[in-house]
Amino acid sequence: MRDREPSLVTTWAARGWGEAEGIGSATLRRLVQSWPRRAAVTNKAEPLEETANYDALVPDYPLEIVPFAEHPLFRAAAPERRQRVLTGMWIGYNERVIATEQLIAEPAFDMVMHGAFPGSDDPLIRRSVQQAVVDESFHTYMHMLAIDRTRELRRIHERPAQPELITYRRLRQVLAGMPERWERDVAVLVWGAVAETCINALLALLARDVTIQPLHSLITTLHLRDEAAHGSIVVEVVKELYVRMNPEQRRTLVRCLPLALAAFAEQDLAALRMELDAAGIRGTEEILGDLRATTGGNRLVRDFSGVHKMVEQLGLTGEVDFDFPERPDWSPHLGTHH
């Protein structure tokens, strides 16, 4: 590894982020100390105990955030088929959350824990990241329970397999063009950081929705609380690692950020096609074609304000080629968990 660039270290030292104390260590220390009180795994070990309010007539997923909800062909479908789409959207959402945890978030955390970057052996970093790894494993458990319970209550015995997670497909494409191990490590770190700071958007929409099954709101609320803290952890950890990266690693991080952001903003039309076909909705290709032609039809609801904050704090404003949207009014704020 090359030595750190003195200009960057000097700049951060001037801001009061001394190396001995560690950049952002006060925030990390607060988050580490608060984990036993705030983490879902330490407070809601069995979320399915709260299922007494199940009502078969209550939808599983909010109609208002289904991208083709107003399409004439979807609206013309029988109510039970539309309801089946909503159930499929909920199950598919949980399946994709699990895939994101297992394929993107956890590998990034594991890489930090195994010392892929200078500075990742800092005890505070290791403790905060290991807590997040425990959280992620519990999130997978929660969403697995949500899938199983929904399939049981809705009597869904068979379900087509999800297409490969689109964000993971994009990551694999990037990794395939990187001959060096250190480049691939940086890309995995960036994808994990973006995952942990932008997953909040859809979680927040589901958590605050009062029209869906109460259990679904509960599970997403528990996950959201953890991820809001994870967003802060990731921002601080990346800052810690970035200051110790050599120039090539930093340039790779800057190059990967817009690629990861675009991947997480992309709507997976293959997953939507699967849900429409599984529910027997007629005119699937016309619905998707019209959606594709609509401005924003290929964009997921995301909140990239956490990554934007990280970019600003790294002094990379203007270097990351991505048009950051305004923070949504309902977006949870990073850095408020003590």
- Give one DSSP letter per residue of 51-101, joined into a string: -TT--TTS-SS-GGG-TTTT-HHHHTS-HHHHHHHHHHHHHHHHHHHHHHI
Rounded mean pLDDT, 242-270: 95
- Taking only the tens place, the pLDDT of each residue in 151-176 is 999 999 999 999 999 999 999 999 99
Share of the chain above pLDDT 70, in %: 85
- Supply the pLDDT for residue 258: 95
- Taking only the tens place, the pLDDT of each residue in 225-239 is 888 888 889 989 999
Residue 148 lies in a domain: yes
Residue 95 has pLDDT above 80, yes or no: yes
- Taking only the tens place, the pLDDT of each residue in 314-336 is 999 989 988 887 765 555 544 43
Residues 6 or more apart whose Cβ sits within 8 Å of residue 136? 101, 105, 106, 109
Residue 286 lies in a domain: yes
Domain containing residue 118: CATH number: 1.10.620.20
Residue 67 lies in a domain: no
Residue 261 lies in a domain: yes
Q: What is the DSSP string of 171-227?
A: HHHHHHT--SHHHHHHHHHHHHHHHHHHTHHHHHHHHT-SSS-HHHHHHHHHHHHHH
Residue 57 lies in a domain: no
Per the prediction, the chain carries an average pLDDT of: 85
Residue 127 lies in a domain: yes
54 pLDDT tier (thresholds 50, 70, 90)? confident
The rounded distance, in Å, linking the Cα atoms of 216 and 202 is 12
Residue 4 lies in a domain: no
Residue 19 has pLDDT above 70, yes or no: no
Give ∠ CA 246-168-294 in degrees, rounded to 5: 115
- Taking only the tens place, the pLDDT of each residue in 264-285 is 989 899 999 999 999 999 999 9
The pTM (predicted TM-score) of the whole model is 0.86
The rounded distance, in Å, linking the Cα atoms of 278 and 151 is 14
Domain that holds residue 136: 73-313
- Supply the pLDDT for residue 24: 56
Total domain count, the chain: 1
The rounded distance, in Å, linking the Cα atoms of 100 and 92 is 12
Residue 223 lies in a domain: yes
51 pLDDT tier (thresholds 50, 70, 90)? low
Is 291 or 24 the better-scoring residue by pLDDT? 291
